[in-house]
Structure 1
Amino acid sequence: MDRLQGGPFLEISFLMFESESIQVILDKLCDLPIKIEMHMTTDLLQAFHKGYLYDEQDSNSKRIHQICVRLNVHTSRTRRSDLYIQRIANNSLCFSMCFYGSSADVPEWNQIGIKDSELDEFTALLVQIFEKLEFVAGGVAIEQDATFMFDSNLEYPHQEYELTQLTIQSVLRNMNSFYSIVVNKDISKDYNSKQVELLNKGILIRDSLHSTERSNT
């Protein structure tokens, strides 16, 4: 299955501690009410754990651990997705499910767009993932993943992206491009607002003040 082409891309992304194996996490993703078909291989898992040097000419360079897994996600319309898995710091992972995010379909690439009326499906999927995995924080945005919730612009992996350093204050400061976010109760306990929806072990915040505009191209 080919990777997505063009853009923009809508991303459902979330941050997790690496407390379980990647395979266990992926197995849980395939056990959601919204069906997900995953094209995963043993070679990909081995490639993630082995990683590669950021600078191949420098044996002391930091090592990058990142893979892309192909998905079919059965929302109201079956969509292709690329799932990027990255280790952003010690014991800290970012998962990002990318979908073709324009409102227009591109039949020649076998990519369907996302109508405004379908956006809530992606928030629903984010909530389902949270209920299954109980991640630290996650969101739905165009061309932006959950690493933007940190007060940092450094390249990862870096200690500034350790999840123990993530706070509700930094999440709120950096959420102006997200359609919706979910944060667990461990870091949202000091946040009180009538705008939140309570989840079993976290909160859901919808529609930030400045939603990202989607392109029709």
Structure 2
Amino acid sequence: MESSQWLQGGPFLEVSFLLELKEAKTKGIQDIINKLSKVTNKIEIVDKNIDEIIDFFERGYTYDEEDPESICLHSLKLRLYVYLSKKRKTTLQIEKVSSNALMVNFWFFGSLFDAPEWDQIGIKEDEITDFTDFLMELFSVYKYKVGGIAIEEDILDLFDCNETYPNECYCYEKVSPDHFLQEPSHFINIVWNEKYKQINHIPYNHKRFDREGILIKTGSFND
């Protein structure tokens, strides 16, 4: 999966989460973008043609224009600056992954080393807590079902499914801790919303926060 040219090189650290698609696609996307201003971390949108980008998401596009049976993709990317302990270039990716689920994914340059030729700063080991705090802050704003932090992996990796999206195996109700807590994980941290299912046994270090959130430490930055 490639990020836009706003970010170059790699690897990329992905902070992603799953939202239910309850309304018309356009309103759902507008709400996600509008709520960026409610996040404690300052988020600066670089793109100016946001309405056009949302309209493109609404219309969608076919994966293969020459195939009348080709699936229709609904996808967008926005260029951002996210202010953690440092100002970081970020790509916000939003994908309709099934009939009732959206994946929201923040891409960051994930190397240990800076890339000044691309104006990209790396991530030092002690800075990973910035991203953990960001994941938790996103939970407080969006109340997502499940979210996570990983290198070159997004939240769809927690489903018991290996299909290309959009696919109904990525329906909102089909992600469950019964599966992803029992499988090997590439994630550094996972946040689960206990509104959807209480978890009694968690085989990892964890802590509860914001009433219904559980932060589960499933790995480390250098794994």
In structure 2, what is the Cα distance between the partners aligned to 1:9 and 1:83? 12
**Residues in 2 aligned to 1:152 and 1:3: alpha-carbon distance in whole angstroms:** 30
Distance 1:97 1:197, change over 3 A: same
Q: Give CA-to-partner distance per residue, 1:69-121, whole Å, 9 cap, x none.
A: 11100011100001110000002000110000001001111000000010010
C-alpha separation in 2, matches of 1:3 and 1:188: 38
Whether 1:68 and 2:71 are equivalent positions in the alignment is: no
* Aligned partner (choices 9, 16, 38) of residue 31 of structure 1: 38
In structure 2, the CA distance between the partners of 1:187 and 1:173, relative to structure 1 (3 Å rule), is farther
SS of corresponding position for 2:38: coil
For 1:191 and 1:36, the matched residues in 2 are separated by 35
After TM superposition, give the deviation of residue 166 of structure 1 in Å: 1.2
Give the alignment partner of residue 61 of structure 2, picking from 52, 63, 75: 52
Structure 2, unpaired ranges of 5+:
none
1:19 paired with 2:22, answer: yes
Alignment-derived partner of residue 134 in structure 2: 125
Partner residue of 1:109?
A: 118
Is this contact kept in 1: 2:125–2:221, CA < 8 A?
A: no
Aligned partner of 2:216 in structure 1 is 205
Partner SS for 1:153: coil
Residue 195 (structure 1) aligns with: 205
Q: Which moved more, 1:56-65 or 1:143-152?
A: 56-65
Q: What is the CA distance between 1:181 and its match in structure 2?
A: 0.6
SS in 1 for 2:207: strand
**TM-score using structure 2 length:** 0.89
Q: Which deviates the most, 112-121 or 178-187?
A: 178-187
CA distance in 2, matches of 1:175, 1:137: 17
Instruction: Note the aligned Cα RMSD (angstroms).
Output: 1.8
The 1:175/1:83 distance shift into structure 2, 3 A limit, reads farther
Contact 1:168 1:191 in 2 (8 A): no
Asked if 1:141 is matched to 2:150, the reply is yes
Rounded to whole Å, the distance in 2 between the matches of 1:114 and 1:2 is: 19
Cα offset, 1:190, TM superposition: 3.4
Separation of aligned partners in 2, 1:79 and 1:108: 15
Contact kept? 2:97, 2:170, Cα under 8 Å: yes
Q: TM (normalized to structure 1)? A: 0.92
Give the conservation status (yes or no) of the 8 Å contact 1:51–1:65. yes
Match in the other structure for 1:3: 6
Alpha-carbon displacement from aligned partner over 1:15-57 (angstroms, at most 9, x marks no partner): 0001352111111122111111123411100000111011211
Which residue is equivalent to 1:172? 181
The CA deviation at 1:191 is 3.2
Q: Which residue of 2 aligns with 1:83?
A: 92
